[in-house]
Structure 1
Amino acid sequence: MIMPDVPTTMKAWRLDRLGGRLSYDEGPVPDVRPGSVLVKVEASALMTYMKAYIEGGLPSYHAPDGCFTPGGNCVGIVGKVGKDVWHLRPGQRVLLSSLFQATENVPDPARILIGVTSFGGVSETMQADWPNGTLAEYALLPASAVVPADGWDDVAPMRLAAATRFVVPYGGFVRGRLAAGETVIVNGATGAYGSAAVLLALAMGAGRVVAAGRNADKLAALAERGGRAVVPIALSGDIKADAEALRTAAEGSADLAFDMIGGAQDPNSTLAALHALRSEGRLVLMGSLMVDLPVPYLQVMIRSIKLIGNFMHRPGALRNVLALARAGHLDLSAIKPKPFPLADLLPAMEAAATAGSFEQIVMCP
């Protein structure tokens, strides 16, 4: 792929603070610096909660101090590389998942979500060094945060962006040690990442996937897409009844429960999934439960249940997602892109907030 000459100016969205002024401005294309790559953005996948984020409605998120360009995941073409970048080259297609982890050899490296949030302490310093995201024509990114997508030049960028939807549950399944043939419960299966998790579990070799959620119609559509290995269970909110339904669907009990529940105000579905696990089963927590989880201490201890908190994924996980797709195990086309011009961010945010489980709003400069 040939990279055209990089211009000197570009259009980008700029936000002065969460809940503040959002504007679409023209400004200079950033210069590369050591350890960085300048990427021409082809498709930026919009977060479903971008509108709430921009409006300051998510108090747990910490944006950079001062004006910045929001936006996380993207597909693009390398335009320039800085010093100390040896493997990436201009003209190469790359993907960015917004997770960026410090590369220093320390026991607990700080992390940020580029263009989204930091997490206190050293991560705020990282964010100050890398404040800008991908809602722009060009993005300056840390070289270690992007993944080459060699061999995918014939796939439309907006379709390739679906890989960034799958990489989040991939991180959880790896942490949960999903093994071929195992039975998996996906709690929150009708959400954007939960639906992706159902299909990804099958791609990674799960023998049966119990798709759990509150919307029976969406669950039925998910089961139709996933095939006979997917068993939909509409939850009632009653822990005991739901746990029994999950155990029946799992033909006794599940090996792994993957919790991707979004914004829940009660822990009932998570507890039902926990109660449906076999002895030595694993529960991976990746959702956004808004209240504390009351752990049944004695049951977890006696039955040797493992609780695993997991945030995002390990560096390089996108490579493995692409490998699953290349091998034919994972169908990226299951996620349908809905493109918007970069200038139309406001209607795109509205669309993202109401998009279906298998839709992805994509900004295309």
Structure 2
Amino acid sequence: MRAAVLTEFGAPLTVREVPDPEAGGGEVVVQVLAACVPPYAAEVFSGQRKYPLQPPVIPGIGGIGRVVHAGPDATRLGVGDLVWCDCTVRARDDALTPDITLQGWSSRGDGGARLARYLHDGAFAELMRLPTENVYRLPHEAEDDVARWSSLGVYAIPYGGLLAGTLQAGETLLVSGATGNLGSAAVALALAMGAGQVITPGRNRAVLDLLADRFPRRVRPVELTGDEATDLAAMSAAGGPIDMVLDLLPPSAPSTATRAAAMTVRENGRVVLMGGVGMLGGPDLALPYPWIMRNSVTVRGQWMYPRPANVGMIRLLASHALDLGPERVRTFPLDAVNDAIGYAAAHGGPFDRTVLTPSAG
């Protein structure tokens, strides 16, 4: 098969022939039809984000594919099925605290690194091998636009945060990082799940206006100044009481921005941290102990999403509760993978999707 290979950090990906993957017990091989290229992919491949990838590696974070081989443990999947391939792989030998790797992308701890060495390669290839439990059948309508449906992987991440924070219908949510690629997805998703209103802080006025225009009456934009006290007051006044805060700010964001957003939450409110603050050094997040304790605030982290979230996302898309129609999708063939990475970096705004189509043509 042909695949895009990261040979070393800082080098362009190389498209070349590599051996076809062979499925072992409890595994599936799929033909990859569409895989999203994240806006920050260039930062990963340059080494800037310090992800624990081990080159040479075929990168990629899941996608849409067609089953070409299913093992004997697959009782519902069959050859030819159109499927979503989830990159979040959990070790099978500890149900309580499983080691995790994001196949072809990242991992957590020594156990995750061991798992990553076995399930080493991701979706930037014509074929991909995955655990059976990471493959989910898609409805027939997904056949009509697999590139657009590959946005499922973008939405699944904030969906994990919204589930972790137990967002309820009618509640007010503040999305910290709302003007970014993941943050804007969180806004659309929260409204599809029934949020009463979503407060969208950010420094890009044009993007704030775009969100408000797409979701009139239910989005409350707040233009930030960079001053922590001023921004905290402005966000608090935008539409409180705020029931939940979801932070999706990138590693380049200052911890003060996350702290200001978090401290807008009401008494007995919830704060879910999914961003990258502190991952590249600099001051870590420091929330006041007395404020958390006396206001009975719940603060929790969430990395990616639980396995059932994949089924929930597929249902949201199939029911059209979440509309993918406004997505701006640009596709690239496998040979143009480096062009795709550059395009994604330059088009990482709300509802922009860059998609690699490894098996096209």
**Per-residue deviation, 1:253:** 2.1
Give the alignment partner of residue 361 of structure 1, picking from 345, 350, 354: 354
How high is the TM-score relative to the length of structure 2?
Answer: 0.94
Structure 2 match to 1:4: none
Alignment of 1:163-312 (within 5 A): 163-250=152-239, 252-290=240-278, 291-312=283-304
* 1:190-233 deviation per Cα after TM superposition (whole angstroms, max 9, x unaligned): 10000000010101110010011111111111111122101111
Q: Which residue of 2 aligns with 1:113?
A: 102
SS of alignment partner, residue 212 of structure 2: helix
Deviation (angstroms), 1:14:
1.7
Deviation digits for residues 2-60 of structure 1 (CA, Å, limit 9, x no counterpart) = xxxxxxxx11112233335732111332222211111011101112111221222222x
Equivalent residue for 1:5? none
Q: Unaligned regions of 5+ residues in structure 2, if any?
A: none
Whole-Å separation in 1 of the counterparts to 2:34 and 2:95: 34
Once the two structures are aligned, what percentage of the paired residues are identical? 34
For 2:155, the aligned partner's letter is F
Q: CA deviation at 1:73?
A: 2.2
Q: Superposed, which structure 2 residues align to 1:136-147 within 5 Å?
A: 136-147=125-136
Could you tell me which runs of 5 or more consecutive residues in structure 1 were left unpaired when the two chains were aligned.
Answer: 1-9
In structure 1, C-alpha distance between the alignment counterparts of 2:35 and 2:142, rounded to whole Å: 17
For residue 311 of structure 2, the aligned residue among 319, 323, 338 is 319
Contact residue 92 and residue 150 of structure 1 kept, 8 A:
no
Q: 1:150 to 1:104 in 2, by over 3 A?
A: farther
TM-score with structure 1 setting the length: 0.93
Equivalent in the alignment of 2:82: 93
Deviation at 1:335, TM superposition (A): 2.4
State how far apart, in whole Å, the 1-side matches of 2:12 and 2:233 are: 50
AA of the residue aligned to 2:274 = M
* Secondary structure, aligned partner of 1:328: coil
> 1:308-345, CA deviations, whole angstroms, 9 ceiling, x for partnerless residues?
11111001312111211222211122322110111101
Residues 19-28 or 99-108, more deviating? 19-28
Q: Which segment is superposed worse, 70-79 or 148-157?
A: 148-157
Q: Deviations over 1:91-116 (max 9, x none)?
A: 11111232111233432100000101
Cα RMSD after superposing both structures: 1.5
Match of 2:52 in 1: 62
Q: Which residue of 2 aligns with 1:345?
A: 337
Aligned length: 353
CA contact (8 A) 1:185 1:210 kept: yes
Structure 1 letter corresponding to 2:36: A
Check conservation: 1:74, 1:97, Cα contact below 8 A: yes
Q: Which of 1, 4, 27 is 1:36 aligned to? A: 27
**2:18 match:** 27
